[in-house]
Structure 1
Amino acid sequence: MFSEKDLSLIEARGANVETILEQIENFKVGFPYLNVVRAATIDDGMIQLGDEKAKELSKDFDDQIFGKKLLKFVPASGAASRMFKSLFAALEENKFDKSVNEVLEHLQDFAFYKSLIKSVGSESADHKTILKHLLTAEGLDYGALPKGLLEFHKYGDSTRTPAEEHLVEGAKYASSGGKVNLHFTVSPEHRSKFTALIDAVLADYEAKYGVKYDISFSEQKPSTDTIAVNLDNTPFRTASGDLLFRPAGHGALLENLNDQDADVVFIKNIDNVVPDSLKEQTIIYKKALASLVLSYQQAVFAYLKMMDGTDLKEEDVEEIEDFIEFDLCVEFPEGYDDLSFEERKTYCRTKLNRPLRICGMVKNVGEPGGGPFWAENADGSTSLQVVESAQIDLKDPEQKEIFDGATHFNPVDLICTLKDYQGNKFNLLEFRDPKTGFNTQKSQSGRDLKAQELPGLWNGAMADWNTLFVEVPLITFNPVKTVNDLLRPEHQ
């Protein structure tokens, strides 16, 4: 199937033939659907803190982080081109719809207005000229930049990009000992622009918030790209005869996360930021969730150390089983009670000794995407999972009813611990479910092809983690999917 030239290309990308063959097999047989048992709801897999409890936990967090390394991990490689889809249609196809007219009527309300007019040279330019200077390299080139580098919010005469808003958030809830560690995953073509922005503003933010930043960047590894195939599942080849590899979605960032060394990691998307006037709830709940994850981690570690003892009794194992079932929300598989004492110990140890995450969840307001569910695992157990719609057989009436009955939505608000009770880093690649990827149909140079995404970072890539869900206020979820979203009150 592969020539010597192919093998050299695969090796140069840091990949291996066995993995590529597995990907091709996944194209042939497809990925199995996940069996969801029920939606996670308040008091059934979903913790509801309330504002007072959240404030109490937030205060506790400041005492819990002594000597711990905190890290804010921000996926920031996505291009902003989809934000401007309707504006591109107006510029290139003369399609001026309601959303385009809204942007043009409210240009002065955008943080980037001054930069745009400076580029255009006149406030009275025609609409096509304005759009050209906003979207193309003739002006701001916003259609080609990543979201993290766009001017999102106004502060008097100055503005902030999402990257800068994450610097501020980092100082507010991810600072330990006056140090803030931030890691951005970026595209290779945009890395220099990110570093230039950070270099230009860092000293000002350090002075303003009294912290020192350690900013790092990484790019999606070529070794995580997946092979593309023709519709008959044979390798797709370019006009020059080379194999085609494509980025495999945000699940590929598991490798980047696995390279990090920290005690507590905050994960949040680049575009989910608000101005300072609305940050308070975000900061309170971020600290509260981090406090909670550390408390659960402490309990897990205590039980693992107990299991290291030589005099573990039946009642000790029963206590651990109760903790796993009622606190970590893992329902044991059928036949578990028939296992021997030693087999139960081994099983419990496996369930305890895993990475731990708390996922903030907002009430479902009709946003597309995944949510919190109880789902069946390969070993027959049932646990909490972030599940995307593509993972569920929505043609099955029962599964569709469960999916439609979800009360909450996944805003990508995660707090993670990545080390075991002896202080060793987990290899996160060992805790993903490889059968939770996606096959999609795309095209290249006018030819149809099939592409494959790896298990998503917060669903399949973390399928075998200990997972807890906590309800967070809707105000903490303010993504910017289209440029029009920047006109919402939360971003003004």
Structure 2
Amino acid sequence: MFLEKDIKQIEAKGLTLEKVSNQIEVFKSGIPHVNLVSAARISQGILKFSDEENNELISVFENEKNKISILKFVPASGAATRMFKFLFTFLNDYNPEHESINSYINNQSNKDLYIFFVGLEKFPFYKEVMTKIHELYLNYKSLNTNVKSLLFVKTMLDENLLNYGNSPKGLLPFHEYKNNVISTAFEEHLYESALYSSTESDAKLHFTISEKYKNKFKEEFNRIENKVAIKTGTQFDISFSYQKESTDTIAVTLDDKPFRTEDGSLLFRPSGHGALLENLNDLEADIIFIKNVDNVVVYKYKDEVAKYKKVLAGILIKLQQQIFKFLEAIENNKIDEDKIIKISDFLSDKLNVKISNDFKKYREKYQIEYLKEKLNRPIRVCGMVKNEGEPGGGPFWLKDENGNISLQIIESAQINTKNKKQKEILKESTHFNPVDLVCGVKDYKGNKFDLTEFVDFNAAFITKKTQSGVEIKALELPGLWNGSMANWNTIFVEVPLITFNPVKTVNDLLKAPHQIKD
């Protein structure tokens, strides 16, 4: 199947022939659907706390945070292209000489386009675009509305002009404050981090970015560092990494043969956010907050958002302290029948671990080994918001091929919706995963876990793409907060909707959490 030059290409990427061959086997065999047992709901896999309990958990975090190392991890490698999808279509299709802008919107029944133009002056980039337009078109004021509308979108998106569609999402104008002060999503993450992930020394943030944008991110940090430091009283330690080429996956034809480009070389593609597990695994911290780059709010909402980050971290610390005590007791042979029962109950009641039906039949030695293996894992506490129709993953109980039942974040693409029972369970889902995690990645001795050992490789994704006009199949690794963390200890907690404010389309910037009201 592979030529000598293929092997050299594979090895140059940091891959092995065995790994690539295994990827091709995955295409051939397909990826099994998950087996849902039930949707996770309040008191059935999702915790909900009172105000008093929240305050207690915040106190746990505040009391411990200066004794541990904390890091915020922000996946930020994506370009903003999808944000402007409907505007790219408009740019390609609309001819102001043939019809008015209002007629075009009505004929297309394009609600997104209507909202965009109605809210135009409320976008944080409005003044920047208008300034650029007046530089380019000295006769702009004399033009009719149809041409003006087209020129506005063209100035935003044209790769020779502002080129927003090919810019990293983290560096786009996201919010406009008083006196025309513009803030990017990248900047907002710094302000937010100062409220919960900073310690007495500084606030550490790590952004995974596309390498071609590294200088732009560094320039943005240099531009805002002093301003944000003075406003927050916090010094920032910012680091960047890039998705590793060794995590790319081979693309294949529709009949599962390696796809070759025009020059005969193999085609490899980035393998989705699951590839970032390697980046996460390289980081050194006791606790890591994970949040997507586009999930930020204007400053007046930040205290509320920070509050629930502290709640999640408080839960993590409280559970971790108990886990470490149990593991130290096991290591020091301070374990008896009562302690075995206590640990077993803790795993079941607090960590959502379904104890094997055969556990009581094990000899004591094997019971202890079993409990240690279940306890000694990375731990993640995940915020969950009530489902209001957003696309993406949700919390479910599922059963694996060995009959083990566990809590997981599952994407709809992993579910066999042709199966009536599975479809009903999906419909019963009440909550949604907003990518709001706090992770403990060290063991009770302070050693880092190797996170690659806790992945469910059956949770990968096969997708169809187009390459040079030809339909191909691509392989995405198990998602970072999905299958990549499948074998972590997992806790789900309901958090309010204000903590989830992603900008998936440009019109999301018109929503209240992204707007400043005078």
Residue 157 (structure 2) aligns with? 135
Report the Cα distance in structure 2 between the residues aligned to 1:312 and 1:53, rounded to whole angstroms.
31
Instruction: Find out whether 1:253 has 2:265 as its counterpart.
Output: no
Deviations 1:17-68 (A, max 9, x none): 1111111000000111221211111111111013343233223311111221
**In 2, Cα distance between the equivalents of 1:312 and 1:302?**
11
Q: Tell me the alpha carbon deviations over residues 319-349 of structure 1, each in whole angstroms, 9 at most, x when there is no partner.
A: 1111111111111234333222222211111
Q: Give the 5 Å matches for 1:318-357.
A: 318-357=341-380
CA contact (8 A) 1:355 1:417 kept: yes
Alignment partner of 1:56 is 2:69? no
1:358-369 matches, within 5 Å, as 358-369=381-392
Match for residue 101 of structure 1 among 97, 114, 120: 114
- The corresponding residue for 1:461 is 484
**Corresponding residue for 1:312?**
335
Name the structure 1 match of 2:254: 231
1:149 match: 171
Whether contact under 8 Å (2:195, 2:303) holds in the other structure is: no
Q: Is the contact between residue 332 and residue 380 of structure 1 (CA under 8 Å) also seen in structure 2?
A: no
1:16-31 alignment runs, 5 A limit: 16-31=16-31
Is residue 159 of structure 1 aligned with residue 182 of structure 2? yes
Q: Distance in 1 between matches of 2:87 and 2:394?
A: 31
Q: Which residue is equivalent to 2:445?
A: 422
Q: Give secondary structure in 2 for the equivalent of 1:170.
A: helix
Distance 1:311 1:178 in 2: 38
CA distance in 2, matches of 1:104, 1:397: 42
Deviations 1:142-193 (A, max 9, x none): 0111210111111112011100000001111100114100000111222221
Whether contact under 8 Å (1:333, 1:382) holds in the other structure is: no
Q: Which of 197, 207, 211 lines up with 1:188 in the alignment?
A: 211
Counterpart CA distance in 1 for 2:129 and 2:200 is 40
Partner of 2:290, secondary structure, is strand
| 2:502 alignment counterpart | 479
- CA–CA distance in structure 2, aligned partners of residues 378 and 398 of structure 1: 18
Moved more, 396-405 or 157-166: 396-405
The counterpart of 1:400, out of the listed 409, 418, 423, is 423
Say if 2:192 is the partner of 1:176: no
Q: Deviation at 1:378?
A: 4.7
| 1-structure distance, mates of 2:260, 2:128 | 43
Retained in 1: the 8 A contact 2:409–2:482? yes
3-state SS, counterpart of residue 65 of structure 1: helix
Residue 68 of structure 1 is matched in structure 2 by 68
2:101: which partner in 1?
none
Residue 116 (structure 1) shift = 0.8
Mapped to 2, the partners of 1:198 and 1:310 lie a distance apart of 51
Change (3 A) 1:335 1:197: same
Q: Return the TM-score normalized by structure 2.
A: 0.93
CA contact (8 A) 1:437 1:454 kept: yes
Query: 112-121 or 303-312: which moved more?
Result: 303-312
Q: Which residue of 2 aligns with 1:431?
A: 454
Give CA deviations for 1:353-384 in whole Å, capped at 9, x if unaligned.
00000000001111111111112245432121
Distance 1:345 1:256, change over 3 A: same
Work out whether 1:295 is the aligned partner of 2:318: yes
- The one-letter code sitting in structure 2 at the alignment partner of 1:349 is K
Give 2:160's aligned amino acid: E
Letter in structure 1 aligned against 2:162: L
What's the CA shift for 1:462? Answer: 0.1
Whether the aligned pair in 1 keeps the contact of 2:60 and 2:317 (CA below 8 Å) is no
Aligned to 2:436: 413
The more displaced of 207-216 and 135-144 is 135-144
Equivalent AA in structure 2 for residue 277 of structure 1: K
CA distance in 2 between counterparts of 1:102 and 1:400 reads: 33
Distance in 1 (CA, whole Å) between partners of 2:415 and 2:361 is 31
Q: Could you tell me how far apart the structure 2 residues matched to 1:482 and 1:206 are?
A: 30
Shift of 1:231: 0.8
Counterpart Cα distance in 1 of 2:469 and 2:357: 51
Matched residue, 1:113 = 126
TM-score of the aligned structures, taking structure 1 as reference length: 0.98
Q: Distance in 1 between matches of 2:268 and 2:395?
A: 32
State the distance in 1 between where 2:408 and 2:235 align.
Answer: 36
Can you give the 5+ residue segments of structure 1 that lack an aligned partner in the other structure? none
Q: CA deviation at 1:311?
A: 4.4
1:205 paired residue among 222, 228, 252: 228
- The alignment partner of 2:439 has SS state of strand
1:268-302: per-residue Cα shift (whole Å, max 9, x none)? Answer: 00111110111122110001110110110101101
**Aligned-residue identity in percent:** 49
Query: 1:116, 1:139 within 8 Å by CA — same for their partners in 2?
Result: no
- Asked if structure 1 preserves the Cα contact closer than 8 Å seen for 2:13 and 2:245, the reply is yes
Distance 1:119 1:397 in 2: 55
Pick which of 371-380 and 479-488 moved more.
371-380
- Asked if the contact 1:334–1:380 (Cα under 8 Å) also holds between the matched residues in 2, the reply is no
Specify the code of the residue in structure 2 equivalent to 1:148: G
CA distance in 2: counterparts of 1:443 and 1:137, whole angstroms:
22
- RMSD of the alignment, in Å? 1.3
- Equivalent residue letter for 2:386: K
Contact map agreement 2:173 2:185 (CA 8 A) in 1 = yes
Structure-1 residue corresponding to 2:87: 87
Tell which structure's C-alpha radius of gyration is larger.
2
* Cα contact 2:316–2:379 (8 A) shared by 1: yes
Is the contact between residue 13 and residue 246 of structure 2 (CA under 8 Å) also seen in structure 1? Answer: yes
Contact 2:297 2:501 in 1 (8 A): yes
Aligned residue number for residue 240 of structure 1: 263
* Distance 1:130-1:138 versus aligned 2 partners, 3 A rule: farther
Measure the CA separation in 1 of the matches of 2:444 and 2:39.
Answer: 31
Residue 447 of structure 1 aligns with which residue? 470
1:423-463: per-residue Cα shift (whole Å, max 9, x none)?
00000000011111011111100111110000000010000
In the alignment, structure 2 segments of 5+ residues that lack a partner are 95-103
